[in-house]
Chain A
Amino acid sequence: MSPILDISDLSVVYRTPGGDVRAVERVNLTLSPGEVVGLCGESGSGKSTLAYGATRLLRPPALVTSGSVRYSGRRITSGGHPVDLLAMSHKELHEMRWREIAIVFQSAMNALNPVLRVQDQLLDAIKANLRLPRGEARDKAASLLDLVGIPRNRLRSYPHELSGGMRQRVMIAMALAADPEVVIMDEPTTALDVVVQRDILAQIVELKERLDFAILFITHDLSLLLELADRIAVMYAGRLLETGSAQAIMREPAHPYTRGLLNSFPSLRGSRRELAGIPGSPPDLRDPLPGCPFIPRCTHAIPVCSNVDMSLALVAGPQAGPPPGLLNGVSHLTACPIVTPEVSQEGVLS
Chain B
Amino acid sequence: MSFIIRRLAFYLVAAWVAITLNFFIPRAMPGNPVESVIAKYPNLTPSAEKALALMLGGGLAQGSLWHQYVTYLGHVFTFNFGADIAQFPTPVTTMIAQALPWTLVLVGVATIISFLLGTSLGILAGWRHGGWLDRSLPALMFLQAVPYFFLALVLVDVIGIELHWLPTGQGYDGANTQPGWTLTFIGSAVQHAILPALTIVLTSIAGWMLQMRNVMITTIGEDYVVAAQAKGLSSRRVIYTYAARNALLPQLQAFGLALGFVVSGALVMEIVFAYPGIGLLLLNAVSSDDFPLMQAIFLVITFAILIANLIIDFVIVFFDPRVRAREGAR
Cross-chain contact A105 with B223 (CB below 8 angstroms) = yes
Residues of B within 8 A of A103 (CB): 227, 230
From A103, which residue of chain B is reached at the shortest CB distance?
A: B230
Asked whether B319 is an interface residue with its Cβ less than 8 Å from the other chain, the reply is yes
Q: A161: which of B233, B234, B320, B325 is its contact (CB, 8 Å)?
A: B325
Residues of B within 8 A of A111 (CB): 223-224, 226-227
Residues of B within 8 A of A112 (CB): 224, 227
Q: Would you give the 0/1 interface string for A93-134, flagging 1 where the beta carbon is closer than 8 Å to chain B?
A: 011011100110111001111111000000011001100000
Residues of A within 8 A of B321 (CB): 114-115, 158, 160
Q: A116: which of B221, B232, B241, B325 is its contact (CB, 8 Å)?
A: B241
Asked whether A55 is an interface residue with its Cβ less than 8 Å from the other chain, the reply is yes
Q: B226: which of A59, A98, A174 is its contact (CB, 8 Å)?
A: A59
Asked whether B322 is an interface residue with its Cβ less than 8 Å from the other chain, the reply is yes
Q: Would you give the 0/1 interface string for B209-240, flagging 1 where the beta carbon is closer than 8 Å to chain A?
A: 00000000000011110111111111001000
Q: A110: which of B223, B231, B320 is its contact (CB, 8 Å)?
A: B223
Asked whether A57 is an interface residue with its Cβ less than 8 Å from the other chain, the reply is yes
Asked whether B242 is an interface residue with its Cβ less than 8 Å from the other chain, the reply is yes
Cross-chain contact B322 with A55 (CB below 8 angstroms) = no
Q: Given the complex of chains A and B, what is the CA–CA distance between A97 and B224 in angstroms?
A: 16
From A106, which residue of chain B is reached at the shortest CB distance?
A: B223
Residues of B within 8 A of A98 (CB): 230-232
Q: Given the complex of chains A and B, what is the CA–CA distance between A116 and B232 in angstroms?
A: 17
Chain B contributes a number of interface residues (CB within 8 A of A) equal to 23
Q: Given the complex of chains A and B, what is the CA–CA distance between A128 and B226 in angstroms?
A: 15
Cross-chain contact B232 with A128 (CB below 8 angstroms) = yes
- Which A residues between 200 and 227 are near B, CB-CB below 8 angstroms? none
Cross-chain contact B223 with A113 (CB below 8 angstroms) = no
Q: Would you give the 0/1 interface string for A68-112, flagging 1 where the beta carbon is closer than 8 Å to chain B?
A: 000000000000000000000000001101110011011100111
Shortest C-beta distance, A216 to chain B (Å), equals 14
Cross-chain contact B233 with A124 (CB below 8 angstroms) = yes
With A57-B230, A97-B231, A98-B232 known as contacts, the answer to whether A113 contacts B325 (CB < 8 A) is no
Interface SS majority for chain B: helix
Q: How large is the interface on A (under 10, 10 to 19, 20 to 34, 35 or more residues)?
A: 20 to 34
Cross-chain contact A113 with B241 (CB below 8 angstroms) = yes
Cross-chain contact B232 with A115 (CB below 8 angstroms) = no
Cross-chain contact A115 with B228 (CB below 8 angstroms) = no
From B243, which residue of chain A is reached at the shortest CB distance?
A: A113
Q: Given the complex of chains A and B, what is the CA–CA distance between A196 and B115 in angstroms?
A: 46
With A114-B224, A114-B246, A124-B237 known as contacts, the answer to whether A97 contacts B232 (CB < 8 A) is yes
Q: Given the complex of chains A and B, what is the CA–CA distance between A11 and B162 in angstroms?
A: 64
Q: Given the complex of chains A and B, what is the CA–CA distance between A97 and B325 in angstroms?
A: 34
Shortest C-beta distance, A298 to chain B (Å), equals 35
Q: Given the complex of chains A and B, what is the CA–CA distance between A95 and B237 in angstroms?
A: 16
Asked whether B245 is an interface residue with its Cβ less than 8 Å from the other chain, the reply is yes
Cross-chain contact A128 with B227 (CB below 8 angstroms) = no
Cross-chain contact B224 with A160 (CB below 8 angstroms) = no
Residues of B within 8 A of A161 (CB): 325
B228, B231, B319, B322: most-surrounded residue (chain A CB, <10 A): B231
Residues of A within 8 A of B234 (CB): 128
Cross-chain contact B325 with A158 (CB below 8 angstroms) = yes
Cross-chain contact B320 with A99 (CB below 8 angstroms) = no
Cross-chain contact B232 with A105 (CB below 8 angstroms) = no
Residues of B within 8 A of A105 (CB): 223, 226-227, 230
Cross-chain contact A114 with B322 (CB below 8 angstroms) = yes
Residues of A within 8 A of B221 (CB): 59
Shortest C-beta distance, B217 to chain A (Å), equals 11
Q: Given the complex of chains A and B, what is the CA–CA distance between A57 and B230 in angstroms?
A: 7
Q: B232: which of A59, A94, A114, A158 is its contact (CB, 8 Å)?
A: A94
Residues of B within 8 A of A114 (CB): 224, 246, 321-322
Residues of A within 8 A of B222 (CB): 110
Q: Given the complex of chains A and B, what is the CA–CA distance between A106 and B229 in angstroms?
A: 15
Shortest C-beta distance, A113 to chain B (Å), equals 5
Cross-chain contact B231 with A115 (CB below 8 angstroms) = no
Shortest C-beta distance, B94 to chain A (Å), equals 46
Cross-chain contact A113 with B230 (CB below 8 angstroms) = no
Residues of B within 8 A of A99 (CB): 232
Q: Given the complex of chains A and B, what is the CA–CA distance between A41 and B327 in angstroms?
A: 41
Shortest C-beta distance, A126 to chain B (Å), equals 10
Shortest C-beta distance, A220 to chain B (Å), equals 18
Q: Given the complex of chains A and B, what is the CA–CA distance between A222 and B261 in angstroms?
A: 57
Cross-chain contact A160 with B322 (CB below 8 angstroms) = yes
Q: Would you give the 0/1 interface string for B155-176, flagging 1 where the beta carbon is closer than 8 Å to chain A?
A: 0000000000000000000000
In order of increasing CB-CB distance, the 4 nearest A-B pairs are: A97-B232, A110-B223, A111-B227, A98-B232
A-B contact pairs, 27 of them (CB 8 A): A97-B231, A98-B230, A98-B231, A98-B232, A99-B232, A105-B226, A105-B230, A111-B223, A113-B242, A113-B245, A113-B246, A114-B224, A114-B246, A115-B319, A115-B320, A115-B321, A115-B322, A116-B241, A116-B245, A124-B228, A124-B231, A125-B231, A128-B233, A128-B234, A128-B237, A129-B232, A161-B325
Interface residues of B (CB under 8 A from A): 221-224, 226-234, 237, 241-242, 245-246, 319-322, 325
